[in-house]
Structures are given as C-alpha cells and as structure tokens.
Amino acid sequence: MASVYKDPRNRSKFWYVSFFDSAGVQRRRSTKTTDRTLAMRMAADWERLAKSGRAGSVVAAQVRKVVAELVEQATGEPLHFQTVADYFTHWKTQWDAGKAKNTAIKYTQTVDSFLNALGKRATQPLGNIGPGDLEKWRDALQKGGRTPATVNFNLKVVSIAFQKAQKLGYIPVNPCHGLEAIRDDTEAERDVFTPEQVKVLIEAGKGTDWEGAVFVAYFTGLRLGDVATLTWADVDTAGAQGWFLRRKTLKTRKEVAIPIHPSLRAFLEPWQGVGRAPLFRTLHGGKPGGNTGLSTQFKNLMEKAGIRGRVLRKGVGGARQTTSLSFHSLRHSFTSAMANAGVPEEVRMLLTGHSTRRAHKTYTHHEEAQVWAAIATVPGVAV
C-alpha cells in the first residue's frame, strides 16, 4: 500500500511517496508539495496506475486523466489535453472568422485532408504527431496527383497551425520543421508564347476582356490574379516619358512600376476609364481555380486559338493536368524577351517584382531610363 513520509536523509520540505510500480518494484518519489493531504492523493493515484499496469490495462487516456486530476488538485485549475482533431478544428474556425472567404476555404480543406490522413491518430494528443506523420500525408498527396505547389501549400498551412501550438506551449517542437519543400521539376520545362501565338490569342479573344488581358500580361509580365484585378487607378498617364502601370502585386505585396509598351498603350487609349473602374469588368473578382475559374477560361481560349502546350504532368485522382503553356507563360514571354535582348537581370527583376535572383531564375529561358529601354525590347504585336 502506498504511503507518504518525510525523508530524514535530507532537509526537504516536500513529502515523499512510496509505492510499487507495474513490475512490483518499490519506488520512492518526491511529490514536490508540502501539503500532506495532496501527497496522499498523489500516492494513491500513482499506485492505482501501477496496479493497472501490472494488470496490463493501463492506457494513455488513464494516464492523462490522472495527471489532469493531480494538476487540478495542486493548482485549482483544470488541465486540458489537446487532441489533434480538437486543436485543428478550433484553429480552423479562427481562420473561418478572420480571413477572406476563399482563404478560409483553402485552409479548411487542408485541415480536413490532414485529419482524414491521420485517421484514428487524430484522436491522440497533439504532441504525439511527428515528422513521420507529415511525411506519410505529403507522400499520399503526391501519389494522389497533387502538384508540388499544392503539396507545399498544404504543408505550410499545417506548419502554421503547429507553430502556434508551440508558442502556446501545447507542444515542445513543430513536427513540420525539417521537412523540405517538394521541388517542381516541370517549372524548368515551361514554354513561352511567341509574338505570333500572342497575336492568335488576342484574335481569339476579340470582343471579350480576354483580348485585353492577354495584351496586358504579355507586355507587363503580371500574373493572372493581378491582371484580373487591375483598375484604371493603376494606370498612370502622367509620366514624363509615357504611361506607367503602378500597383502592389497580390502574391508578393511588392510595389511594381512598369512602363506601358507603345503597343499596349495604343490598345488601352481608345477605351480609357477613370478611378476604380476595372480594366476587365468580366474578369474582375474572378478566381483562378475551379472548373469555371479564370485559368480554365484561358485554357478554353487557347483551344479556340488552336494552341496546345506539351503535357508535363497528367491529371491523377481528379488533379488537373499540367502543360508547358498557360496564362503564366505570358509572364515567361515578357521576361524571356528581355533576357534574350541582353537586359540586365537586376532590371528584369525590378519589372517583374522579384526581390531575389533565385526566384527570378525560374523565369529566365536561355532605374527609369533603363526600364523604358528594357520594355522596348519586348516585340510589339500588331492586331
């Protein structure tokens, strides 16, 4: 039977307990408390766990329950053990309440995917999840046909959640730390649109906002999301040397000032608007993804124009097929034309909104006066 005592060999003010462990070996432990009543309760609980262990019936849930009871007895405050499912479900609702609708949807989908991949392990304490669990989920996403960008986004979201749990003291380390991002080997195989193909695309989009969207992307290198959200307030017509397009990009939040190419200015001038009026009303506010999203609409435009890229990755498990040509290829065309004309890398980075050489090298295929000269190297398109 468990007992409590003061150790005569030292001057400790704390009570000690004596009990037999699951192997029948007598153990002595300090309770770290001067309260004899509490020490007696701790002794009884420890011995109860030991007996359960000897009977082969002790489980993690029992241990957590006893520890929680001991903490509440000592501090007066209950101790809550966060399971993976409980923590992530609560974390997900915080995003639902505080973030943009589409961002919240993506985070919710990521959390649901992670919890489903864990299965029964989702009911275990948060601290039980290790790098191995993340690696299995990552590999499953890849085998399911998810692109490297999608897999890396999912890992990033879960890492953010674990990072917060670490700051709150729920876990000692973030299990996502040390997991390397998936490399996208298809990026180096991307093709660019030739000026002739750009002309065909513009003709195919005649009479729609896609006509102007292709024009703008080819002569500015802006991403699809940035092109779709342009307003006339972004177009500066007061420049000393000509028009500028000035805005903060959606992806990097970096300010860019891009001289407007003579061909693009000739296209824009006849229907110049003012203020916050969208340049492309039917595209404004549209989302890139989905079966009816902007990316799919551009793919349909390519098919109408008779332009097809090489298949780089086949769609598996509902994932979309990746080809060597997409709207993003217009950005490649923009920067590659300048690279082929010998425009310095620093100037190309300035115009495309990149801040590092490493990021920029993805797009390379083979101060005001400089950027105007750089823009002039992009071949014009007569339509």
pTM of the model: 0.59
Please give the pLDDT value at position 364: 45
Neighbouring residues of 340: CB distance < 8 A, sequence distance ≥ 6: 365, 366
In this structure, are residues 350 and 371 in contact, taking their beta carbons and an 8 Å threshold?
A: yes
Give the tens place of pLDDT for each residue, 175-223: 998 888 877 665 556 788 999 999 999 999 999 999 999 999 999 999 9
**pLDDT higher than threshold 50 for residue 4:** yes
In this structure, are residues 347 and 174 in contact, taking their beta carbons and an 8 Å threshold?
A: no
Q: CA-to-CA distance for 107 and 96, rounded, in angstroms?
A: 8
- Beta strand 235-236 with 244-248 is antiparallel
3-state secondary structure the chain: CCEEECCCCCCCCCCEEEEECCCCCEEEEECCCCCHHHHHHHHHHHHHHHHHHHCCCCCHHHHHHHHHHHHHHHHCCCCCCCEHHHHHHHHHHHHHHHCCHHHHHHHHHHHHHHHHHHHHHHHCEHHHCCHHHHHHHHHHHHHCCCCHHHHHHHHHHHHHHHHHHHHCCCCCCCCCCCCCCCCCCCHHHCCCCCHHHHHHHHHHCCCCHHHHHHHHHHHHCCCHHHHHCCEHHHEECCCCCCCEEEEECCCCCCEEEEECCHHHHHHHHHHCCCCCCECCCCCCCCCCCCCCCHHHHHHHHHHHHCCCCCEEECCCCCCCCEECCCCHHHHHHHHHHHHHCCCCHHHHHHHHCCCCHHHHHHHCCCCHHHHHHHHHCCCCCCC
From the list 187, 148, 201, 191, the residue with the least C-alpha distance to 332 is: 191
Give the tens place of pLDDT for each residue, 111-123: 999 999 999 999 9
Main-chain dihedrals φ then ψ at residue 28, nearest 5 degrees = -125, 130
Give the tens place of pLDDT for each residue, 234-283: 998 887 678 888 887 777 777 788 889 999 999 999 888 888 899 999 99
Number of Cα atoms under 13 Å in the Cβ half of residue 313: 22
Report residue 162 CA to chain centroid gap: 14
Please give the pLDDT value at position 98: 52
Query: In percent, how much of the chain has pLDDT > 90?
Result: 32
Here the tokens at position 165 are 């749990």
Q: What is the distance in angstroms between the CA of the first residue and the CA of the last residue of the chain?
A: 95
Give the tens place of pLDDT for each residue, 45-70: 777 767 766 555 555 555 555 555 55
